[in-house]
Amino acid sequence: MTGHLVRGIENLPGDGRSSAVTIGKFDGVHRGHRAVLERLESEAAGRRTVVVTFDRHPASVLSPETAPEPLLSVDQKTEALLEAGVDLVVVLPFTAEFAALTADEFVDQVLVAGLSAEVVLVGADFRYGSHGSGTVDSLRAAGERGGFAVALVDDVCEHDGTRISSTGIRGMLATGLTTEATEALGRPHRIRSLVVHGHQRGRDLGYPTANLAHDAEGYIPADGVYACWLHVGGDRYGAAVSIGNNPTFGDVPEKTVEAHAIDVHLDLYDQVVELEFIEYIRPMHKFPSADALAAQMGADELRIRDVLGLPAPA
Identify whether residues 95 and 216 lie together within a single domain.
no
Bin 199: left if φ > 0, else alpha if -120 < ψ < 50, else beta: alpha
Q: Is the model more confident about 1 or about 99?
A: 99
Identify whether residues 123 and 192 lie together within a single domain.
no
Helix, strand, coil percentages, rounded to 5, for the chain: 35, 25, 40
Identify whether residues 87 and 199 lie together within a single domain.
no
**pLDDT tens string 69-113:** 999 999 999 999 999 999 999 999 999 999 999 999 999 999 999
Identify the CATH number of the domain in which residue 134 sits: 3.40.50.620
Q: In the listed set 138, 153, 168, which residue is the last one of a domain according to the structure?
A: 153
Residues in the chain: 314
Identify whether residues 227 and 94 lie together within a single domain.
no
The tally of domains found in the chain comes to 2
Residue 166 lies in a domain: no
Residue 158 lies in a domain: no
pTM for this entry: 0.91
Whether residue 287 has pLDDT greater than 60: yes
> What percent of the chain shows pLDDT beyond 70?
94
Whether residue 261 has pLDDT greater than 90: yes
List, in sequence order, every residue forming a beta bridge with 231; answer none if it has no partner: 236, 274
Residue 281's H or E segment, with its range, is strand 272-282
Residue 110 lies in a domain: yes
Domain hosting residue 138, numbered range? 4-153
Identify the CATH number of the domain in which residue 246 sits: 2.40.30.30
pLDDT at position 2: 80
CA distances from 120 to 46, 51, 57, 137, 313 (A): 14, 10, 21, 13, 55
**pLDDT tens string 201-249:** 555 555 888 999 999 999 999 999 999 999 999 999 999 999 998 655 5
Identify whether residues 258 and 304 lie together within a single domain.
yes
pLDDT at position 175: 97
Residue 160 lies in a domain: no
**pLDDT tens string 293-310:** 888 889 999 999 999 999
